[in-house]
Amino acid sequence: MTSLNQDQIKALEQSRQRLIQLTHSLSSLITSLNTSDPLPSWSSLQSQATIISNNLITVSEHLTDQKDLFGSLVAYPGPDYPSRTQGPALEQLLRTKLDPRVEDWLSRGRTTGQKSQSQTQIGGQELSEGDLAELWAWAPVEANQEARRRNWGGNFTLEEKEAGIENVVTGLRRELEDEDESEEEEEEEEEDQMDIVGARKKASGGGLEFDIAARQPSQVAAAAAGPVMPLDDVLRFMTTGLPPKQR
Amino acid sequence: MHELLLFASVPHHQHHELRQQLAGLTAMQPRHRLERRLIFKAYRKPGVITTRVGASQNVQGVDLQRLNKMLNGGMFYTQVVGPVLHENFAAAGVTRGEGGDDPDAAMSGIDESQKDSFSNSSYDYESQSWKLEFRDIPEAGTRSAVTARLMASAGLPKGDIIEPMNAWGYGFVTEYVVEGDIFILNDIVIFLHRVLQYPSESADPHVPRRQLPPFEQMTPLDKSGSYVLQAAITVQDGGNQETMRTASQHLFGLREQLRSAVRLEQADRLSLDTRAK
């Protein structure tokens, strides 16, 4: 067998680099999960997950690209390999079958893949019609029950009242009254009503609460065609009157 | 005063949706805004001494250099902005008509300067109010990912603006109309707008129009109908690092909130270059 050329060595080296990146990002996720208390914010978790999945994608792309090379490579120890001290690593390298744990991962991944594939073939719906109907039937009742357990009119929930309102930490300096017909509330209600009237007045054209659709500026010929002009060109025109370059 | 800005391009199909989203986010109805914008360019007046800069023989005194800078540097484009109403545009027969009172309702109370023109629907150039808006080129260096620039505004006399501007050494370049909606979120002014151009055949291109064409004849600068979203915070004391930092933090907060809808970004510095060459 011929020895490896430069490109092939580079490909091997690249896969090593990418795997290192992957392990790094995985281990940083694990440490952040282990050490930070409370748990890291969902946004940071999500960004870490994105990084990991990007790493996975690059690794898998690389492996696919170099499939032929990696499939034909055979590892064997050279005469100067320190097999006495580095025995376990040698054994790992010379294995012809995969590690049992890895076999498990593979089979699990394959079944999930097949499942999702068959699902997308059917129509990609997670919930069947029946399940959906059931959910719709269940949700309003449940939501209503949950809502009834709260006293919406007052400043305190029923739960808080039962536990004694003195103990509630409101963070407010002024005294909150427990009665529904307190002045502040009336004021608030008045304001609400005024708001609604105002919105209706404007909504004379349509029927929506947020009736800003009525004033959709369609008077100008809305020729929605062609590519969007780069922001820079628009800004340049607005600052100096320089007409955008014809593309 | 300083101005901190973020921009985004909004494609036509997303405009309506984004308007709704902004209305929800800011908990206010959009304030419709129509502005005439005239662009003026500073020109070098004849008779100004143009000494050569960079002559190495005789070292120029610091004073002379400063004088040169004052005389020859600082040539800028500047904008003159005048609020207008939908009614100010020439009536275009049947197509408008009753539709005219709808913008009326939304505009009322926004526009102090234009109250008298509610009664007659034609445009009166002599009573058009103007505001001079100077914007410096955005600061160089990317300490933070926002566009920061020096700004100043000043009221101008009503009516024909060409004469005073010429007297100050500014020549009229071109004009256009900006149409859009304003939202306010805490200290951020969000302006979702687009540029409309006058129909090309009408009038002398060297002076601002005295009559406005029918609004229907205005064509968007971008044929695809896209809008520009601009989020701005004005900072009184631009030298105060603390307030500048707070302001950019607020802009970043808005950027995070709108992340799933639009990508607010720093504008290309040179596209906002107001220096006249």
Which of the pair, A169 or B225, is modelled with greater confidence? B225
Residue B67 contacts A, CB cutoff 8 Å:
no
At A189 the pLDDT is 43
Q: How far apart are CA A238 and CA B195, in angstroms?
A: 8
Minimum distance, in Å, between the CA of residue A220 and any CA atom of chain B:
5
Residue B195 contacts A, CB cutoff 8 Å:
yes
**Is A40 domain-assigned?**
yes
Report CB contact under 8 Å: B32, A235: no
User: Chain A residue closest to B92 (CA)?
Assistant: A219
Find the radius of gyration of the CA atoms of chain A: 33
Among A117-131, A223-237, B97-111, the range scoring the smallest mean pLDDT is B97-111
Among B42-46, B145-149, B238-242, B258-262, the range scoring the smallest mean pLDDT is B42-46
Q: Are strands B130-135 and B31-42 parallel, antiparallel or unpaired?
A: unpaired
Number of domains forming the structure of chain A: 1
**Is A48 domain-assigned?**
yes
> Is the pLDDT reported for residue B244 higher than 60?
yes
* Residue from the list A220, A224, A239 with its beta carbon closest to the beta carbon of B77: A239
Q: How far apart are CA A8 and CA B87, in angstroms?
A: 73
Residues of B in contact with A199 (CB under 8 A): 29
At B210 the pLDDT is 81
Mean pLDDT of B111-130: 60
Report CB contact under 8 Å: A235, B271: yes
Report CB contact under 8 Å: A228, B9: yes
- φ, ψ of residue A131 in degrees (nearest 5): -60, -40
For residue B147, how many other CB atoms are within 10 A of its CB?
24
Cα B124 from chain centroid (whole Å):
22
Residue B9 contacts A, CB cutoff 8 Å:
yes
Residues of B in contact with A208 (CB under 8 A): none
Residues of B in contact with A225 (CB under 8 A): 223-224
**pLDDT band per the 50, 70, 90 thresholds, residue B69:** low
Report percent pLDDT > 90 for chain A.
Answer: 10
CATH architecture of the region B2-272: Beta Barrel (2.40)
Which of the pair, A82 or A18, is modelled with greater confidence? A18
**pLDDT band per the 50, 70, 90 thresholds, residue A134:** confident
User: ipTM, 2 decimals?
Assistant: 0.72
Mean pLDDT of B130-152: 82
- At A36, which CATH number? 1.20.58.1710
Residue B7 contacts A, CB cutoff 8 Å:
yes
Mean pLDDT of A84-106: 83
**Is A138 domain-assigned?**
no
> Is the pLDDT reported for residue A23 higher than 90?
yes
Mean pLDDT of B163-176: 85
Residue ranges of the domains in chain B? 2-272
AA identity, residue B277: K
**pLDDT band per the 50, 70, 90 thresholds, residue A231:** confident
Residue the block writes with tokens 């269940």: A138
**pLDDT band per the 50, 70, 90 thresholds, residue B120:** very low
> Is the pLDDT reported for residue A20 higher than 90?
yes
A-interface mutation test, from B224, B228, B263, most A Cβ less than 10 A away: B224
Q: Per mean pLDDT, which of A158-167, A231-240, B135-144, B244-253 is the most reliable?
A: B244-253
> Is the pLDDT reported for residue B73 higher than 70?
no
pLDDT, tens digit (0-9, with 9 covering 90-100), for B198-216: 887 666 677 788 888 888 8
Mean pLDDT of A206-215: 41
* Residue from the list B20, B106, B224 with its beta carbon closest to the beta carbon of A210: B20
Mean pLDDT of A155-159: 67
Mean pLDDT of A178-197: 44
3-state secondary structure of B96: coil
Q: How far apart are CA B275 and CA A168, in angstroms?
A: 61
The DSSP code sequence of chain A is -PPP-HHHHHHHHHHHHHHHHHHHHHHHHHHHHHH-SSPPPHHHHHHHHHHHHHHHHHHHHHHHHTHHHHHH------TT--TTTSHHHHHHHH-SSPPHHHHHHHHHHHHHHHHHHHHHHHT--SS-HHHHHHHHHHHHHHHHHHHHTS-SSSSS-HHHHHH-GGG-----SSPPPS-TT-HHHHHHHHHHHHHHHHHHHHTTSS--SS--STT---SS-----SPPPPHHHHHHHHHH-PPPPP-
User: Chain B residue closest to A233 (CA)?
Assistant: B271
At A185 the pLDDT is 42
pLDDT, tens digit (0-9, with 9 covering 90-100), for B1-24: 888 899 998 888 888 888 888 998
> Is the pLDDT reported for residue A177 higher than 80?
no
> Is the pLDDT reported for residue A112 higher than 90?
no
At A19 the pLDDT is 92
A-interface mutation test, from B197, B226, B260, most A Cβ less than 10 A away: B226
Report CB contact under 8 Å: A226, B105: no
Q: Per mean pLDDT, which of A65-69, B146-150, B187-191 is the most reliable?
A: B187-191
Torsion from C-alpha of B25, B184, B30, A241, nearest 10 degrees: -120
Report CB contact under 8 Å: B8, A219: no
Q: How far apart are CA A235 and CA B39, in angstroms?
A: 13
Domain span holding position A106: 6-75+86-119
Minimum distance, in Å, between the CA of residue A188 and any CA atom of chain B:
16
Query: What is the number of alpha carbons within 13 Å of residue B79 lying toward its C-beta?
Result: 26
Which of the pair, B166 or A187, is modelled with greater confidence? B166
At A176 the pLDDT is 62
**Is A39 domain-assigned?**
yes
At A148 the pLDDT is 80
At A121 the pLDDT is 58
Among A145-154, B8-17, B222-231, the range scoring the smallest mean pLDDT is A145-154
Mean pLDDT of B19-46: 86
Q: Sign (positive/negative) of CA torsion A102, A104, A109, A111? A: positive
**Is A55 domain-assigned?**
yes
At B181 the pLDDT is 92
**pLDDT band per the 50, 70, 90 thresholds, residue B106:** very low
At B99 the pLDDT is 36
Residues of B in contact with A217 (CB under 8 A): 179
